[in-house]
Structure 1
C-alpha cells in the first residue's frame, strides 16, 4: 500500500510543471522519494565516450545536487549493461542509442532523459581500397566487432539506409576490432565499423580511411551517439532524483567541454581512459557533449524510423507512442 501511494504521489508530481515549485517545495518533495538519502548506483565501466559519468562522480557534480552516489562496474558487455539497468542492478547508466533503443522498445525497463555526446564511430576501409562509397560494399563483407544485432551493425545499417543501400545486401562478419583491421589488410573483409579512438592510429599512419562517419558526416554529426538512461521503476518512483541525476550529468558535460585537457587527465588517472594522452585528447575534442535535448529527440525519432525500415523495430508501431515510451527530457522545464 505504501509503495502504491508513493507511485501515485510521484506520478502526480511528474505531471505538475516543475516551474510551479519553489526550491524549498522541490526539496521537501524530494525528501519523500524512496531514493532520498540512499546511495544511488551509477553504472559506468570506464571509457572515453561515457566519461561524463566518471567526471560527475569525481568532480562533485552529483554531490552538488545533494546525491550520494557510487560507480558500479557492470559485467557482460553491452548485454550485461542493458540487463543491469533494466533490472535495477544500477539506477542510471549510458550507452550507444544503437545498443539500447531496440531492447527498450521491446520492453526492457529503461527511460532516456538526455543525450550524452555526438561522434564516436565510423566505417573504415583500407587506404588503397577501391571502395569509395557504401554502394561499393554491396555483396561484400563488413566487420562488426560487437556482433550481430549490436551497435556496430545497427550504426552501419543506418549508413547504408541513408545512402539508399539495402543493408540486407551486405555480408556481415563478427570480428574484434584488431582482428578486423588485419582482416581488411588480408582482403577477408572489405570494411569495418570501428571506434574512432581505436582507429585513429591507423588513420594517422595512412593505413585506413573513412567512408562514412557518425563523427564527421553532416547527416550524422548533429546526432547523439550515446544516451543517458535510468531504470524505469527508479524513474517512476523518484522523479526529482532523476532530474538531479540528469542535471548533474549535464553539468559534467558542460565542464568537460570547457576543460578537455583536465577531463582526459582525470579519466586516465582513474584508469577510465587508456592510450597516448595526446591521441586521447584529440579524439575527446571530436565529441560534442553540449548536444541539446531537441537534437536528441529529433535523432531518436529518425533512428526509430530508420530501424522500422529495415526491421529492427516493428514497422506497424507508432513512432509517437514509442517516443513517449522511451524518452522524457526531464530538464525541459528548468
Structure 2
C-alpha cells in the first residue's frame, strides 16, 4: 500500500495505545488545545513552482482545514532564512539546499519527504558532450549559486561517476534563462536545470540530458525535497506538526490519484505557471508516493556524500546528524 495512503488512513483512524507515542483521538485533541499554535494562523512558506504544489493542494482541497488548522500561504524567496528564524512555521525545499544549513544550526526539522525527481544535468544535443566524463575540465553552470542545491546535486552526479567535483569540474553561476545561450556561445558546457524549465529545449532538440535525478536508475527513487518545520515550532507543538504533516500527505496522495485535476487547480490558483500540457508532463515524472523509509535512505546517502566532499564535517557521526535533522512524525502513530 502506498505510504501516502497509509498516512492518511492512520490520521483518520483512532490512535491506539500500543505505540509509545500514540494516544486516542480525544487525548490528541486535548493535548493539541494546550499547544501554543492551537487556534492561531500557521504560516506556510511557499517559494513557487510545481515541486511544492502539495502545499497549494493541501490548502485548496481543504486538507489543512480537515485537520482543524488555519493556514496562510506566504510567498517568499529566502526559504532557509524564513523557516530558521520563524518567519514561517513550515516550508518545503530541496534536501540539497536544506541539509547543510540545518546541520550547521539553522533551526528546522524535516518530517517527511515530498517527491522524487525534478532536476537534471543538460548539455547541447548536437555538441560533443555525451556523458559526464566528457565534462572533465569543462565548465558547468549552477543557476542558484555556488554551494546551493544545483551545485550540490551536480556534485553527486560527478562523484557517482568517479569524477572529482573539485579537481575535474569548473563551476560558474549562470541564470537558467541565459544558460542555453551560454552553452551555445561556449561560455559553459553544461547546466543543472529544473526539468520543467528545460522541457521545451529538450523537446525541440536543443538540449540533451546526461545525468538526472528524475530518470537515472541510481537517483530516481531518491527523495528530492522535504517537508520542514521550524525547530521551535516542532518542539512546542508536536500535535500541530503531526497535523500539518498529515494534511501534506493527504495532498500528496490526492495528487497521485488526480494528476490532471491537480495541474488544473495549481494553474488556476497561480501556484504554478506554464501551459497545461507542459506542467502535466512534469507532474507525471514526480513520485509523490515517496516513503519515509526511502526519504531516510536518501538523507543517509546525501550525508555520506557531503561528508566525503567535505561540505559536511566528516568527523560528525552520521546517525547523530540524521537524528538532528529528521523526525518522520507520522511513524509514531
TM-score, length-normalised on structure 1? 0.93
How many angstroms apart in 1 are the aligned matches of 2:124 and 2:177?
Answer: 14
Per the alignment, residue 21 of structure 2 pairs with: 18
Per the alignment, residue 170 of structure 1 pairs with: 169
Per the alignment, residue 109 of structure 2 pairs with: 111
What's the C-alpha RMSD, in Å, of the aligned pairs?
A: 0.9
Relative to structure 2, which stretch is displaced further, 176-185 or 318-327? 176-185
Question: May I ask how many residue pairs the two structures share in their alignment?
Answer: 314
Secondary structure of the 2:105 match is coil
Secondary structure of the 2:42 match is strand
Per the alignment, residue 184 of structure 1 pairs with: 183
CA contact (8 A) 2:142 2:174 kept: yes
Per the alignment, residue 7 of structure 1 pairs with: none
What stretches of structure 2 of length at least 5 have no aligned partner?
Answer: 1-18
How many angstroms apart in 2 are the aligned matches of 1:17 and 1:332?
Answer: 11
Per the alignment, residue 39 of structure 2 pairs with: 37
CA contact (8 A) 1:43 1:72 kept: yes
Query: Which of 47, 53, 56 does residue 54 from structure 1 map onto?
Result: 56
Per the alignment, residue 214 of structure 2 pairs with: 215
Per the alignment, residue 11 of structure 2 pairs with: none
Query: Which of 84, 87, 109 does residue 86 from structure 1 map onto?
Result: 84
How many angstroms apart in 2 are the aligned matches of 1:276 and 1:290?
Answer: 25
**Residues 1:193 and 2:196 aligned together:** no
Runs of 4 or more consecutive aligned structure 1 residues displaced over 3 Å after TM superposition: none
CA contact (8 A) 1:55 1:263 kept: yes
1:218-237 map, 5 Å: 218-237=217-236
TM-score, length-normalised on structure 2? 0.93
> Deviation of residue 46 (structure 1)?
2.3
**Residues 1:296 and 2:295 aligned together:** yes
Secondary structure of the 1:69 match is strand
CA contact (8 A) 1:46 1:271 kept: no
Secondary structure of the 1:122 match is strand
Partner deviation per Cα, 1:153-210 (whole Å, 9 max, x = no partner): 0000010111111001210111111211111111211110000000000000011100
CA contact (8 A) 2:47 2:79 kept: no
Per the alignment, residue 98 of structure 2 pairs with: 100
Partner deviation per Cα, 1:210-235 (whole Å, 9 max, x = no partner): 00000000111111111100000000
CA contact (8 A) 1:62 1:245 kept: yes
> Deviation of residue 58 (structure 1)?
1.1
